[in-house]
Amino acid sequence: MMPRIGPLGRWQALVDAGRLSDDPVQRAAAGRLQALHEALAAAPADAPAKPRRSFLRRRQDRTPATSPRGLYLYGPVGRGKSMLMDLFFEDAPVARKRRVHFHAFMQEVHTGITEARQQGLRDPVARVAGAVARQAALLCFDE
C-alpha cells in the first residue's frame, strides 16, 4: 500500500511513470480532491454516529457540522473523473467510507424509506439518514 500522499501525489506519480498524460484539467481536479483530502485529515476522527435521545443531545444537534464541504466532479465521458475519484477514495484518511454508484445508493435509500413506512415510523427519512451516517462518514458517488 502506498503511503497517504493524497490524490494529487498519486496522480502525479502516474503521470511521472508515463501511465497518464499531464492533463491540466485532471491536474486541477486532483488539486481540488487533494484539498478535500487534507481537510478530512485535519478534521476530528470519524466516530460512528450514535442514536441521540436526551434533551442535551438534541440541543447539540443544532450546532453546525464541522465536516469539510464535499466536491462534485462533472464533465464529458472519458475525462478521468472515476479514476480521480478512485485515487481519492483509496487514500482518503477516513475509516468509515463507501464508494457506490449513485443510482444503487438511491435504490437503497428508497427501499429503506419504504420499509420504515411499512413499520409505521413517523420519520422514515431520519431513520434512513441515520443508518447511512452510521455506515459511512465519507460517501463517494459514481454515475
DSSP letters for 60-76: HTTSPP-SPP------S
| pLDDT interval class at 143 (50, 70, 90) | confident
Query: In this structure, what DSSP letter does residue 46 have?
Result: P
Cα-based angle 31, 5, 80 (whole degrees, multiple of 5): 45
| Residue 49 confidence (pLDDT) above 70 | no
Of 45 and 21, which is predicted with more confidence?
Answer: 21
Q: At what angle do helices 102-118 and 124-135 cross, to 10 degrees?
A: 130
pLDDT of the residue at 109: 97
Judged against a pLDDT cut of 90, whether residue 80 lies above it is answered with yes
The C-alpha atoms of residue 100 and residue 9 are separated, in whole angstroms, by 24
Residues in contact with 106: Cβ distance below 8 Å, sequence separation at least 6, in sequence order: none
Alpha-carbon Rg for the chain in angstroms: 18
pLDDT of 4 strictly over 60:
yes
Instruction: Output the average pLDDT for the chain.
Output: 87
- Residue 48 pLDDT > 70: no
Where is 74: in which H helix or E strand?
none
Please report where in the chains the cell 478521468 appears, as a residue: 80
pLDDT tens digits, residue range 81-127? 999 999 999 999 999 999 999 999 999 999 999 999 999 998 999 99
Report the SS3 class of residue 53: coil
Q: Distance (Å, rounded) from C-alpha 41 to C-alpha 62? A: 24
